[in-house]
């Protein structure tokens, strides 16, 4: 399952990748992690299709994950589920505005990230199975 990880910060992308591992839970497919550091690269990936789930850093610069999430939800047909990593728990209302499907906050808790991502992967797999039937 293709999991796109977006952050301008290579350290944040690395921590996300480590939290995901080969698969975030035993009952989900292996994760093929694709890292991107710019909004332009992320949009190109989404335009090509095939992305199953996205993990977006809400604190990324110059384009934050919240705005990108909102744009993707508005513009991408069958937009993949989004796990948004916000700067602080009080920013949850902004995550709601962005229409993120799941939210965790910095600093990244590997267990919380893996659980949230596994839930989105299950959701996407179930949606794919229904579409193909």
State the Cα–Cα distance between residues 67 and 75, nearest whole angstrom.
12
- Helix 110-132 with 10-20: angle, nearest 10 deg: 70
| pTM of structure | 0.92
Q: Strands 2-6 and 53-57: what pairing?
A: parallel
Q: Which residues contact 96 (CB under 8 A, 6 or more apart)?
A: none
The token duo for 16 is 């996300």
Phi first, then psi, for residue 116 (nearest 5°) are -65, -45
The token duo for 51 is 């992305």
Tens of each residue's pLDDT in the chain, 133 residues: 999 999 999 999 999 999 999 999 999 999 999 999 999 999 999 999 999 999 999 999 999 999 999 999 999 988 999 999 999 888 888 888 999 999 999 999 999 999 999 999 999 998 854 433 3
Give the domains, in start order, of the chain with CATH numbers: 2-6+37-110 (3.40.50.2300)
Opening angle at CA 50, ends 46 and 51, nearest 5: 60
Nearest residue to 91 via CA among 66, 111, 61, 74: 66
Phi first, then psi, for residue 107 (nearest 5°) are -70, 150
Q: What is the pLDDT of residue 131?
A: 36
């Amino acid at each position: 399952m293709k999991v796109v990880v977006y952050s301008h910060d290579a350290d944040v992308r690395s921590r996300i990748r480590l939290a995901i591992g080969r698969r975030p839970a035993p009952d989900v497919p292996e994760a093929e992690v694709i890292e991107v550091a710019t909004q332009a690269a992320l949009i190109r990936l989404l335009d090509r299709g095939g992305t199953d789930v996205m993990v977006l850093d809400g604190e990324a610069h110059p384009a934050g994950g919240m705005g990108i999430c909102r744009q993707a939800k508005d513009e991408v047909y069958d937009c993949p589920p989004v796990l948004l990593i916000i700067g602080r728990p009080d920013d949850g209302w902004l995550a709601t505005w962005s229409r993120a499907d799941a939210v965790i906050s910095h600093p990244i808790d590997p267990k919380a990230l893996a659980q949230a991502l596994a839930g989105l992967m299950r959701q996407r797999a179930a949606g794919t199975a229904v579409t193909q039937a």
